[in-house]
């Protein structure tokens, strides 16, 4: 109950509230309602309870110490020295289990140990949290929804690629570029391609219900991922052999091809990194790219070479024309021996010319290539396979074996030529026969990966024929000079580059003792002949040059010593490259927006999936 004074105080306060509101109450009944409510006894009691609680809160008990139980052993020791009745009684009290429990509870409360222990938050809370998911319902009208979608290659997520201004999605203001789509009308989009999603959107009658993870959540995740910098090592590094490493014990050993996660680039000279997937270990020191380049520069004081040393070949030459069907008994369209352009003398790679010009090792190959993770979806086109190697090393032989081993999995392009059709040759099977004018137009339109001229006729490998093979779902094998890799080194083709390296000289002599190759026409009218010592030397020097200049683009190096072993290794690597396992693609390719369909289509439209309807 309120004391008299308190009651009076509350009453006078409420009366003054009433007199203050009187002027503003329009109707009598409003005033009476307010009066009865404010003068209600229960309300006054609530005021009183509130005040008492407030006072109690201020005087709340504070424990004198939060570990009272630790005093007991000392006290028991002391009391054992006094043999008084009170002392003994206190001693037996202190030793009582109930009393001990009481002190234990006291300590627990004093230390606030009564609060529940929550389990740790799962790591993927951001991805799974319901808070980050929103349900959007768009009402369909005759007009298209006005957005495009794409599949993020590294995560497999379906993202809104573009919102068209003024379209239904734009007007709704509910969907934004970068939003991730999880469901359409209750159907999960997991493992679905944009092509499979379009019919889902189109089949919705009056409204489309979307489960969406907003872009800001994504940008946050992307920002987190941005800190994850991965590089592929392009050289072997052994700190034991590096006299400059500041602290050998904390330096990281790695091999060419290893994927490293760079954790710090703060120091210009020594970065901190660890092997990908090795989350338990500490970061180790690795030489920075700048340091690597400085070291290369010191090794190459003659780097300022005179211009004009590298003269373009007079005529990019094509060697043709032995059909493998005749050799292997398996006829494979487009498989032409030595259809590698500018092999000899082309691209400034003739080892003798380079050595004479003092150009060896002038290229400053990078130490690392920035890479991003990629998992091939079930409906993704296979990667383009580029096979490169020095003349005669066995690229065509390995390619032929791949084609014979699995014609469903591997395919080759049909080359283009401007020469006349010969008897028994079929257009689109042996070659695509086009006019010289057409060929030159295609050159100007950059439609060839490689092209060259032989005896007054053009020959070339066109992007369209690569697209054709890829559209069949086959891994397209292209045998080319490494200088031409750049023309297809894009997210459109995602090339997997295999470098076929010759073995050491002794093994080369031993393994090729019975091998014959078709020598270039200028040397022997296209006749088959055995390898000479000079051929072996050329092969090795040319391979070294290729590696120095282009190895940063090689995904796999296969040493072609024993042919069976080399073939087995190549095939295993290509199976990896065509599977759903984790692969690493150059970061410069950026996110690939296409999923299916020939590259020609992809070139036409970046988003490759048109507007939703």
- Residue 368 touches ligand ATP, criterion: CB under 6 A: no
Q: Give the nearest distance from C-beta 313 to ligand ATP in angstroms.
A: 16
Q: Give the nearest distance from C-beta 397 to ligand ATP in angstroms.
A: 3
User: CB under 8 Å to 453, separation ≥6 — which residues?
Assistant: 315, 316, 317, 318, 459
Choice from 39, 563, 582, 587 touching ligand ATP (CB under 6 A): 563
> Total number of residues binding ligand ATP (CB under 6 A)?
20
- Residue 461 touches ligand ATP, criterion: CB under 6 A: no
Token pair 């088959």 in the structure block, residue = 528
Q: Give the nearest distance from C-beta 411 to ligand ATP in angstroms.
A: 18
Three-state DSSP state, 162? strand
Residue positions counted in the chain: 613
- Which of these segments, 237-245, 253-261, 394-402, 598-606, binds ligand ATP (CB under 6 A)? 394-402
Q: Give the nearest distance from C-beta 452 to ligand ATP in angstroms.
A: 13
Residue 388 or 595: the one with the smaller Cβ distance to ligand ATP is: 388
Compose the 147-166 pattern: x for residues touching ligand ATP by CB under 6 A, - for all others: --------------------
User: CB under 8 Å to 574, separation ≥6 — which residues?
Assistant: 385, 402, 410, 475, 496, 498
- Per the CB < 8 A criterion, the answer to whether 491 and 589 are in contact is yes
Choice from 145, 318, 395, 470 touching ligand ATP (CB under 6 A): 395
Q: Closest Cα to residue 378, out of 610, 148, 156? A: 156
Tally of CB atoms within 10 A around 129: 13
Q: Closest Cα to residue 343, out of 501, 520, 517, 487? A: 520
Q: Give the nearest distance from C-beta 471 to ligand ATP in angstroms.
A: 26
Choice from 237, 416, 431, 517 touching ligand ATP (CB under 6 A): 517
| Structure-block tokens of residue 450 | 């490689």
Q: Give the nearest distance from C-beta 503 to ligand ATP in angstroms.
A: 8
Burial grade of 415 (CB within 10 A; 0-12, 13-18, 19 or more): buried
Residue 65 or 568: the one with the smaller Cβ distance to ligand ATP is: 568
Q: Closest Cα to residue 202, out of 252, 140, 256? A: 140
Q: Closest Cα to residue 385, out of 596, 153, 601, 578? A: 578
Residue 132 or 560: the one with the smaller Cβ distance to ligand ATP is: 560
* Residue sitting closest to ligand ATP (CB): 394
Q: Closest Cα to residue 567, out of 327, 403, 452? A: 403
**In the window 318-357, what residues touch ligand ATP (CB under 6 A)?**
337-338, 340, 343
- Residue 239 touches ligand ATP, criterion: CB under 6 A: no
Across the beta sheet with 582-586, the strand order is 284-287, 270-275, 259-264, 229-233, 368-375, 582-586
Compose the 497-516 pattern: x for residues touching ligand ATP by CB under 6 A, - for all others: --------------xx--xx
Q: Give the nearest distance from C-beta 466 to ligand ATP in angstroms.
A: 19
Residue 196 or 507: the one with the smaller Cβ distance to ligand ATP is: 507
- Residue 454 touches ligand ATP, criterion: CB under 6 A: no
Residue 155 or 461: the one with the smaller Cβ distance to ligand ATP is: 461
Residue 167 or 394: the one with the smaller Cβ distance to ligand ATP is: 394
**In the window 371-390, what residues touch ligand ATP (CB under 6 A)?**
389
Where is 171: in which H helix or E strand? Answer: helix 168-172
**CA distances in angstroms from 183 to 49, 382, 457, listed in the order given:** 52, 27, 56
**CA distances in angstroms from 335 to 399, 464, 470, 482, listed in the order given:** 9, 17, 16, 19
Residue 189 or 393: the one with the smaller Cβ distance to ligand ATP is: 393
Residue 79 or 341: the one with the smaller Cβ distance to ligand ATP is: 341
- The site for ligand ATP (CB under 6 A) is made up of 337-338, 340, 343, 389, 391-397, 511-512, 515-517, 560, 563, 566
């Amino acid at each position: 109950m309120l004391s008299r004074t308190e009651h009076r105080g509350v009453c006078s306060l409420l009366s003054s509230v009433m007199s203050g509101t009187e002027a503003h109450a329009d109707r009598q009944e409003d005033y009476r309602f307010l009066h009865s409510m404010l003068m209600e006894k229960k309300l006054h009691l609530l005021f009183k309870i509130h005040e008492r609680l407030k006072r109690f809160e201020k005087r709340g008990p504070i424990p004198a110490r939060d570990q009272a139980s630790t005093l007991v052993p000392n006290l028991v020791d002391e009391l054992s020295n006094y043999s008084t009745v009170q002392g003994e009684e206190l001693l037996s009290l202190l030793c009582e289990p109930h009393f001990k429990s009481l002190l234990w509870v006291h300590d627990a409360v004093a230390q606030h140990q009564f609060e529940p222990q929550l389990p740790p938050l799962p790591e993927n809370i951001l991805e799974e949290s319901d808070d980050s998911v929103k349900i959007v319902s768009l009402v369909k009208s005759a007009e298209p929804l006005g957005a495009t979608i794409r599949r993020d290659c590294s995560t497999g997520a379906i993202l809104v690629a573009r919102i068209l201004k003024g379209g239904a999605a734009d007007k709704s203001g509910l969907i934004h570029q970068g939003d991730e789509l999880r469901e359409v009308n209750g159907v999960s989009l997991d493992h679905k391609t944009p092509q499979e999603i379009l019919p889902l959107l189109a089949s919705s009658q009056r409204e489309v219900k979307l489960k969406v993870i907003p872009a800001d959540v994504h940008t946050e995740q992307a920002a987190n991922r941005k800190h994850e910098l991965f590089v592929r090592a392009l050289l072997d590094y052994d700190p034991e052999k590096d006299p400059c490493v500041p602290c050998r014990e904390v330096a990281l050993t790695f091999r060419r091809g290893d994927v490293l996660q760079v954790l710090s680039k703060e120091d210009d000279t020594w970065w901190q990194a660890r092997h990908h997937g090795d989350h338990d270990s500490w970061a180790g020191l690795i030489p920075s790219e700048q340091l690597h380049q400085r070291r290369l520069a010191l090794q190459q004081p003659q780097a300022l070479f005179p211009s004009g040393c590298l003269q373009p070949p007079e005529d990019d030459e094509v060697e043709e024309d032995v059909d493998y069907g005749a050799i292997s008994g398996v006829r494979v369209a487009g498989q032409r021996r030595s259809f590698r352009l500018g092999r000899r003398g082309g691209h400034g790679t003739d080892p003798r010319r380079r050595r004479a010009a003092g150009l060896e090792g002038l290229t400053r190959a990078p130490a690392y290539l920035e890479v991003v993770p990629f998992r091939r979806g079930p409906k993704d086109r296979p990667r383009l396979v580029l096979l490169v190697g020095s003349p005669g090393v066995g690229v065509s032989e390995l390619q032929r074996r791949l084609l014979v081993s699995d014609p469903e999995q591997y395919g080759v392009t049909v080359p283009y030529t401007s020469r006349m059709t010969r008897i028994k040759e079929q257009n689109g099977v042996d070659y695509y026969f086009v006019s010289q004018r057409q060929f030159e137009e295609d050159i100007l339109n950059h439609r060839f990966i490689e092209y060259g001229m032989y005896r007054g006729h053009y020959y070339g490998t066109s992007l369209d024929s690569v697209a054709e093979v890829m559209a069949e779902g086959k891994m397209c094998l292209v045998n080319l000079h490494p200088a031409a890799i750049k023309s297809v080194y894009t997210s459109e083709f995602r090339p997997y580059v295999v470098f076929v390296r010759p073995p050491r000289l002794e093994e080369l002599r031993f393994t090729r003792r019975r091998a014959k190759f078709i020598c270039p026409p200028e040397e022997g009218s296209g006749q088959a002949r055995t390898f000479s010592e000079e051929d072996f030397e050329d092969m090795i020097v040319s391979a070294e040059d290729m590696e120095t200049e282009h190895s940063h683009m090689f995904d796999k190096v296969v040493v072609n010593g024993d042919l069976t072993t080399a073939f087995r290794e190549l095939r295993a690597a290509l199976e990896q490259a065509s599977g759903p396992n984790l692969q690493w693609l150059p970061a410069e390719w950026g996110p690939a927006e296409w999923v299916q369909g020939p590259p020609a289509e992809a070139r036409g439209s970046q988003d490759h999936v048109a507007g939703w309807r």
